[in-house]
Amino acid sequence: MIKHPEISDCELRTRIRRKEIRLGGNSKLKIYGVLGCTSGKRMKRENRVFFPSEREAIKNGFRPCGHCLKEKYLKWKNETI
């Protein structure tokens, strides 16, 4: 997990191009989603984190976004009830 304030914009773009970063998340809400998600783009920089894989996000206790990962979110929701 990489916190947005701890990485420069140039390094972030490089890692995204190299596919070293594939997902973004909100550290306060513990939600992860795709980098282009409109919900994710609205979050504050200090709350934003990045992950190389879905496995890493789940390992850190994050759940799928209900907006951009709807099917995975519904599966997660049904499993936690």
pTM of the model: 0.91
Print the domain residue range for 22. 2-80
3-state secondary structure the chain: CEEHHHCCHHHHHHHHHCCCCCEEEECCCCEEEECCCHHHHCCCHHHEEEECCHHHHHHCCCEECCCCCHHHHHHHHHHHC
Q: Give the per-residue pLDDT at 68.
A: 96
Q: What is the pLDDT along the chain (81 residues), one digit of tens a residue?
A: 999 999 999 999 999 999 999 999 999 999 999 999 998 889 999 999 999 999 999 999 999 999 999 999 999 999 976
**CATH number of the structural domain spanning residue 75:** 3.40.10.10
Number of domains in the chain: 1
C-alpha 4/C-alpha 50 separation (Å) is 7
